[in-house]
Amino acid sequence: MGSKAVDWEFVSDLGKRLQRSADDTLPDASRKCADAQTTMMDAGQGGGLLVVMSFFFAAAFLEDSLERKQTVAGELNRGAQACSRNWEATEKVNSFHVGGN
């Protein structure tokens, strides 16, 4: 059985890509909040309360969504790092056994 090479660049970039994905949602959330604020101002006093309630529910949803995304990104990053360490340890053991024979 041949030795397998670890794609270290892929493994190290995996966490970075996931974190960037989580970070990329922030500008979108900021824009949506600004749009909601503009809608509140345009709605006037009559429809303003409904818009305000919608705004707060949307803000809570966006915050929860971002927290979940960051949590998942962190878990995937830790998992990728653990796989990488396990792979490296396996390669060292395999190299030792192959070199010892």
Q: For residue 1, what pLDDT is reported?
A: 46
* Total structural domains within the chain: 1
Question: Looking at the domain assignment, is residue 89 inside a domain?
Answer: yes
Question: Looking at the domain assignment, is residue 3 inside a domain?
Answer: no
Chain centroid, CA 56 distance in Å: 23
Question: Looking at the domain assignment, is residue 68 inside a domain?
Answer: yes
Question: Looking at the domain assignment, is residue 49 inside a domain?
Answer: yes
Q: For residue 27, what pLDDT is reported?
A: 67
pLDDT of 41-51, one tens digit each? Answer: 666 655 666 66
Question: Looking at the domain assignment, is residue 79 inside a domain?
Answer: yes
The total number of residues written for the chain in this structure: 101
Nearest to 74 by CA among 23, 36, 34, 31: 23
Averaged pLDDT of the chain: 72
Question: Looking at the domain assignment, is residue 33 inside a domain?
Answer: yes
Q: Which domain holds residue 45?
A: 8-101
Question: Looking at the domain assignment, is residue 1 inside a domain?
Answer: no
pLDDT of 7-31, one tens digit each? Answer: 667 666 766 676 666 667 666 766 7
**Residues in Cβ contact with 33 at an 8 Å cutoff, skipping those fewer than 6 apart:** 55, 58, 59, 62
User: What does the pLDDT average to over 85-97?
Assistant: 79
Question: Looking at the domain assignment, is residue 2 inside a domain?
Answer: no
